[in-house]
Chains A and B, each alone.
Chain A
Amino acid sequence: MYRVRLWSVRHSRQLEWIYGTFNPLLVKLLRGTVKLFGTRLDKPITKVEAVAKGFFFDCKMCGDCALSKTGMSCPMNCPKTIRNGPCGGVRENGHCEVKPEMRCVWVAAWDGASRMKGGDAIKSVNFAVDNRGKGTSSWLKMAREELGHD
């Protein structure tokens, strides 16, 4: 939801804390789950991620989550899905050139990042997403990466 998404950017610092605290636990839990169940629980886990992140960030399930590096503003909500924004077309009021009613996702991202402890991560260069990951879970990806298999 758009308004919740804006709230998330305003509270990027708190969300960063929550992420930093609970993400290792979540990954640990998922690692155990993956070990025990293989891919059998992928569908429900993916669904939970989609609902939770969908509510807070209008997550598009790109499968390559960058929220912690983009001020808690999901770059896939940019009409051009720019991963290193903003583009040059931001309106004077900070809104999107394609969707004038929407605040530019990347204006929000830099704003959110400025509140975060690790906000400087936004300055690192991101490469384009792997389109094969569309619709898959970033959480499971992290768990599997730590297990050393994809």
Chain B
Amino acid sequence: MTERAVIDAEGLNPGDPLPRLPDHVSHGRFERVLRAGHFAVSTEIAPPDSADPEEVLRRASLFDGYVDAINATDGSGANCHMSSLGVCALLTREGYSPIIQVSCRDRNRIAIQGDLLGAAALGVCSVLCLSGDDVSVGDHPEAKPVFDFDSVSLLQTVRTLRDESRFLSGRQLDLPPRLFLGASINPFAPPYANRVDQFAKKVAAGAQFVQSQYCFDVDMAREFMARSRDLGLTEQCYVLMGVGVLASAKTAKWLKSAIPGVHIPDAIIKRLEQAEKPKAEGRRIAVELMQQLAEIEGISGIHVMAYKQEEWIGEIVTQSGVLQGRKPWAPTHLTHIKQPASA
């Protein structure tokens, strides 16, 4: 049977774009979930140190049925891995809805605009604009940092490409990239009072969804959301709060000291220290955080970051109940019928 015949018989090729719904900027499933008013769950995939496509799909399959979108990180921590564009291209072929992370550290405006067109052509529907970690914290500190843009300029650029159908130079595009536009926020680092202003700037620059840094302090999140609501930001932008899964008190202390911008209250560290099974306690903390955050008005979803504990994401999401019985899309058997027919 030819591939076309299989599709005709069994339905849409998972890699085919979905029709764009009215008032949606992208063809993507992630935007659909949020706009439909569902509580969304996203996570991130750790791109492999490998050229093996199967490894990407194996890692993604851990999330099947539990998440609405998968962030493909772009040299996170300034360490070299498979590119976010490569990971996204592999994921869209299978029908997943990846969020391509674009950092400003490694590429200038010429490269970034080209990559955004390429990503959209490969079926990527969502983008997360980041400034990026400095090269000095990664495994190639001798590299030249680019930072031609910052995250806000990058947001403006994607919006120009998409809404004005032109490059920054003014040159017209034949077909604009239909990208749902995202950014990051960190309400848990100084200057605390201005973090909501920074969020407002990102919304003004075009952010339609934001994912936050790890949230381990629900009170701080509550206060931040109250101020965001006052400024009307939650009506213009979906907020997905970041939840981390801590493996032990040692990991928590390491995160707190080694990754600037991560705030972990002492109470959480104490809980992990006193727990008989710290790993299980870390997961319990994540579940509780998700449940508490889901109660806060204006929070539209959770972004789970469980580095090296990805196999637990399903259990954590299920236990939290934030999906309210909804089962996010996952690939079916159709995924591996890629061989062209000989006939």
Contacts and interface: CB of A to CB of B under 8 A. Distances in A.
Q: Interface extent on A, as a size class? A: 20 to 34
Contacts of A87: 131, 150-151, 261
A83 interface: yes
A122 to B, nearest CB: 8
A91 B260 contact: yes
Interface stretch (A15-23, A125-133, A136-144): A125-133
Interface in B139-175: 145, 147-153, 156
Judged by DSSP, the binding face of A is: loop
A110 interface: yes
Given A87-B131, A88-B186, A97-B260, A107 B150 contact: no
A33 interface: no
B197 interface: yes
B190 interface: yes
A123 B105 CA distance: 24
Contact of B152 (A83, A91, A94): A83
Interface string B168-206: 000000000000000011100111011001101100110
A98 interface: yes
Contacts of A84: 150-153, 198, 201, 205
Interface stretch (A43-51, A54-62, A74-82): A74-82
Contact of B261 (A79, A90, A110, A123): A90
Given A80-B145, A80-B150, A125-B205, 9 more contacts: A79-B145, A85-B198, A86-B190, A87-B261, A88-B185, A88-B213, A90-B190, A123-B197, A131-B148
16 contacts: A80-B145, A81-B147, A83-B153, A87-B151, A88-B213, A88-B261, A90-B190, A91-B260, A92-B263, A94-B191, A97-B261, A98-B134, A98-B136, A123-B200, A126-B152, A128-B148
